[in-house]
Chains A and B, each alone.
Chain A
C-alpha cells in the first residue's frame, strides 16, 4: 500500500469529531503556519510541493495562489469547490463525511497564506447531510478557537461558511460556482477577468477543490519537498480515486501518483479486477475525459505500461490517451454497450448545459437525439459522421469547458468503438433488447465481419 496522507486516519474511531481529529495530529498545520511562517512562506511550500488542482484541470496550485491580486483595502476570498458533480466522482463526499476537520484545517492554513478572512465551502445541494457535518465541524472548530478573531494570538481572523447549491453540474465550473454563490443562475462567466482578479463579489478569489485544500495540510506539516518526493515527474503526491463501474471493489482509494494502472485496476488492494466478466473499456477521470479501451488503459500506444499520473494517462493525446481528470474512475465489462453509455453521457451534458452559448445549448441536445436513435436501432451510417461533426463543432467554441466535456466522450467513443456504432446500424433487431451485449458480447471484427 502506498503512503496515505489524507486517509491515514480515515478508519480511526472518533476522527470525525474535533477531539479525535486533534488527538491524531489535527490542526498542526494551522499552528505551524500561524506561529512560525509568513503567508508567503506557506505559498512557497505549496509551490515546492508541485501540488496540482484535484478538481479536474490539474493546474498547479502554488502558481494559482501566486496569481491572486492583492489590491489594498479589498477583501480576498477562498472558495472551496465541493460541488462534486462529475459523474464517477465521489471522493470529496467520502473525505468530508469522514474527516471534515481536514478540510477545515486546510482552509484555515490556505486562507492564512492567501490573506483571506472569509472563506466559503460551496457544496452541492444533494450533499445536504454532508453540509450539516461540515457545519458541525465548523462550530466545534470555532468553539475551540481555530476560527474567529485573532486565531492563536496571531492576529489572523477567519470565518468559514457552508453554502449549499441546488442541483446543477455546471456550478462545479469555478465562475458558475461564484455566480451561484452570489445567489444567481449558475451561468459561467466570460473570462477574462479571471477569479484571481475579479471573483466573488468582484474581489480577488481563489477557487480550489476539496481534496486540493486538504492536501495543503500534509504539505505544510511535512514540507513541500517531502510531498514532492511522492509521485512521478510533475504528478506529485497522492490522489484520491473514486472507483466504480464493473469492478469487484468499488470505493475511494488514496494512491501515490505513478501507481501502475494494471495494479490499480486488478490488484485486490484497489479495484480487485473485473466483476466476473472481461473488461472492455475504462473512463479514468470522470465522464468528461475520453473513454479508452481496456488495453489502451493498461498500455500506451507505444506499448509502455501506463501509470496513474497526469502525464502517463494523457500519453498519446486524444488519439490513444485520456486524462486523470477528477479521479472519477469507472470501468466497463463486456456486457456494456458503448453506444448506450455514450447516449447516457450525452443526455447528462444536455441536461446540465446552462444554455448560455449556442454550440453547447443546441449541440448537446442534438447529439443526444442522434445517439438515442442509434442505440435503438433506428440510426443510419451517416449518423456516426454527423455525430463526429457535431462534437467537433462544439469543442473549443464554447464559453466554458462543459462544451468540450460534452464533445470528448462522443469523440473518443467513435474513435475507439466505431464498429460498435456500425453494428447498431447493421443489426437493428439485435439492439432492440437494451441488454444486447449482456447476452452476446460484442467482439471486435469477429461477429461483426461474419454476420
Chain B
C-alpha cells in the first residue's frame, strides 16, 4: 500500500504558507453552509483548497493555516488530512497521475498501463520523476470501470487508455507544464 507517513518537519515542511484572499473568501463561503457551530464540516473542502494553493500537497504550515481558519486544534486537521488518500502529505510533481489499479480496471488491462508508465517515467507507483514533473500514484476504483483503464489528473478523467494514449497524454502534459489540481474548474 502507498506509504502514508508522518508529515515532514524538515525545511520543505516549514516553507511558509498563507491563503490567498480569493481562497479565504471561498473558505468563508464554505463555512457559512453549515449550521451554527458546525463549521468543522468545511474542513475537507478547505483542505482541498489549501492543497491546491500549496503546490498539490499539504505541508505542516498549510494544515496549521487551515486549523487557524476553522479554529480547530491542529491535531484535528492532521487526523483528517492523513485519513484521506487524495491529500498528499509530501511534495508531489507538477502532475499527479492517479492510475486506477482496482479489479475492474485490472480486467481491462490496467496492469499493463501502470507497468508502462512506471517504465516510461522511471518511477514506481508513489514516486515522483527526478525533474519533478510527474508523481505516479496507484489509486482505487475511480468509478470509471466501463471506460477502463483510466487515470485521473487534476479534475480530469482520462479514460479508455491504451499505451499509445498514455504516451500521448504524457507528452501533452509535459509540453503544457502547468500544475493541475482536483479543484480546477
Binding site for B on A (CB under 8 A): 75, 84-90, 92-93, 118, 124-129, 132, 161, 163-169, 180-186, 201, 242-246, 250-252, 283, 287, 328, 330, 332, 336, 340-341, 344-345, 347-348, 350-352, 354, 434
Q: Collect the chain A residues with CB atoms within 8 Å of residue B102's CB.
A: 87, 287, 344, 348
Q: Collect the chain B residues with CB atoms within 8 Å of residue A180's CB.
A: 44
Give per-residue flags for B86-113: 1 if the beta carbon is below 8 A from chain A beta carbons, else 0.
1100000000001001111011100100
Give per-residue flags for B1-27: 1 if the beta carbon is below 8 A from chain A beta carbons, else 0.
110000000000000000000000000
B158 within 8 A of A: no
| Bound Cα distance from A242 to B148, whole angstroms | 12
Selected A-B contacts with CB under 8 Å, 23 pairs = A86-B141, A88-B104, A90-B143, A126-B143, A128-B184, A163-B44, A164-B45, A166-B48, A166-B86, A166-B87, A167-B87, A168-B85, A182-B40, A186-B83, A243-B146, A244-B107, A250-B145, A250-B148, A252-B146, A330-B103, A332-B107, A336-B107, A351-B2
Q: Collect the chain B residues with CB atoms within 8 Å of residue A85's CB.
A: 140-141, 143
A14: shortest Cβ distance to chain B, in Å? 21
Indicate which residue in B40, B41, B145, B155 contacts A244 across the interface (CB closer than 8 Å): B145
B48 touches A351 (CB 8 A): no
Q: Collect the chain B residues with CB atoms within 8 Å of residue A129's CB.
A: 155-157
A246 touches B103 (CB 8 A): no
B80 touches A88 (CB 8 A): no
A128 touches B84 (CB 8 A): no
A297: shortest Cβ distance to chain B, in Å? 15
B45 touches A90 (CB 8 A): no
| Bound Cα distance from A283 to B1, whole angstroms | 24
Give per-residue flags for B147-185: 1 if the beta carbon is below 8 A from chain A beta carbons, else 0.
110001001110000000000000000000000001111
| Bound Cα distance from A52 to B144, whole angstroms | 24
Q: Collect the chain B residues with CB atoms within 8 Å of residue A84's CB.
A: 143
Q: Collect the chain A residues with CB atoms within 8 Å of residue B185's CB.
A: 132
B106: shortest Cβ distance to chain A, in Å? 5
Residue ID in chain B nearest A185 by CB atoms? B83
| Bound Cα distance from A378 to B179, whole angstroms | 42
Known: A128-B183, A163-B41, A166-B47. A250 touches B103 (CB 8 A): no
B140 touches A185 (CB 8 A): no
Residue ID in chain A nearest B115 by CB atoms? A434
Known: A164-B48, A201-B38, A330-B104. A88 touches B84 (CB 8 A): no
Indicate which residue in B85, B145, B155 contacts A330 across the interface (CB closer than 8 Å): B145
B123 within 8 A of A: no
Q: Collect the chain B residues with CB atoms within 8 Å of residue A354's CB.
A: 83
Indicate which residue in B1, B41, B146, B182 contacts A182 across the interface (CB closer than 8 Å): B41
A90 touches B79 (CB 8 A): no
Count of chain B residues with Cβ under 8 Å from any Cβ of A? 48
B112: shortest Cβ distance to chain A, in Å? 9
The main secondary structure of chain A at its interface with chain B is mixed
Binding site for A on B (CB under 8 A): 1-2, 33, 35, 38, 40-45, 47-48, 70, 79-80, 83-87, 98, 101-104, 106-108, 111, 139-148, 152, 155-157, 182-185
A168 touches B107 (CB 8 A): no
Q: Collect the chain A residues with CB atoms within 8 Å of residue B157's CB.
A: 129
Residue from B83, B98, B139, B146 having most chain A Cβ neighbours under 10 A: B146
| Bound Cα distance from A92 to B103, whole angstroms | 19
Q: Collect the chain A residues with CB atoms within 8 Å of residue B143's CB.
A: 84-85, 89-90, 92-93, 124, 126-127
| Bound Cα distance from A340 to B102, whole angstroms | 11
B148 touches A88 (CB 8 A): no
Residue ID in chain B nearest A84 by CB atoms? B143
Q: Collect the chain B residues with CB atoms within 8 Å of residue A165's CB.
A: 44, 84
| Bound Cα distance from A86 to B104, whole angstroms | 11
Indicate which residue in B42, B104, B182 contacts A128 across the interface (CB closer than 8 Å): B182
A356: shortest Cβ distance to chain B, in Å? 11
| Bound Cα distance from A92 to B143, whole angstroms | 9
A350 touches B1 (CB 8 A): yes
Known: A182-B40, A183-B41. A125 touches B140 (CB 8 A): no
A246 touches B108 (CB 8 A): yes
Q: For the A-B complex with A127-B143, A245-B145, A250-B145 known, give 4 more contacts whose Cβ atoms are closer than 8 Å.
A: A84-B143, A124-B143, A183-B40, A351-B85
| Bound Cα distance from A161 to B83, whole angstroms | 23
Residue ID in chain A nearest B183 by CB atoms? A128
Q: Collect the chain A residues with CB atoms within 8 Å of residue B47's CB.
A: 166
Residue ID in chain B nearest A180 by CB atoms? B44
Residue ID in chain B nearest A352 by CB atoms? B140
| Bound Cα distance from A126 to B106, whole angstroms | 19
B44 touches A166 (CB 8 A): yes
| Bound Cα distance from A125 to B143, whole angstroms | 11
Q: Collect the chain A residues with CB atoms within 8 Å of residue B79's CB.
A: 184-185
B82: shortest Cβ distance to chain A, in Å? 9
A252: shortest Cβ distance to chain B, in Å? 7
A330 touches B107 (CB 8 A): yes
| Bound Cα distance from A328 to B111, whole angstroms | 21
